[in-house]
Amino acid sequence: MKKERVIYILSYFRRIDEEIKFNETEIGEQEDIYYSTIAAQNLDGLPRGKGGFHSATETAALNVPEGVRETLEFLQKENEGLRRLKKAIWKEITALPYLERAAVHNHHVKGLQWVQISEQLHYSVRQCQNFRDKGIEKLAKRFERNGTISNFHYPE
């Protein structure tokens, strides 16, 4: 895997939480619209006859259009995939030696400047950049071997 691709994956790693939050907001909005049981509640408390759907939840579930249900399932599967991807990337980052991990994480995940990173690690800026380069090279090999990371379809 190329260095540029690893850097792109790390920049995407920063946005995974935002993507999941966006999808969950969309799921919540759609569920509020189509799964609302306010109008379907039985308020009289009388027994109901057999053979029909009388639960408020069942009534609400039956009224959801097919396209909306498919969209909700797609968004939920996408969130599961994003969570697996985030876990896999984090696992590979944490497998790096400390200095390389700190340089990669602070620069590409946290977005810190090189001066701030060099102060934290007590090395020169050039040495920190070298640690990052070594870490990126190792991550390129590890990302290529990891099926979750290499097979994921990243937005361009």
C-alpha span between 133 and 139 (Å, rounded): 10
pTM for the full model? 0.78
| CA–CA separation, 30 and 65 (whole Å) | 11
Amino acid at 82: L
Query: What local confidence, expressed as pLDDT, does residue 65 receive?
Result: 79
pLDDT recorded at residue 36: 63
- Which residues, other chains included, contact 72 with Cβ-Cβ below 8 Å and sequence gap of 6+? 27, 30, 31
pLDDT of residue 59: 53
The predicted pLDDT at position 52 comes to 57
* Average pLDDT by stretches of 10, the chain with 156 residues: 93 95 92 66 59 56 75 94 96 96 96 96 97 97 94 88
Domain range summary for the chain, segments of one domain joined by +: 3-47+54-151
Whole-number pLDDT of residue 33: 78
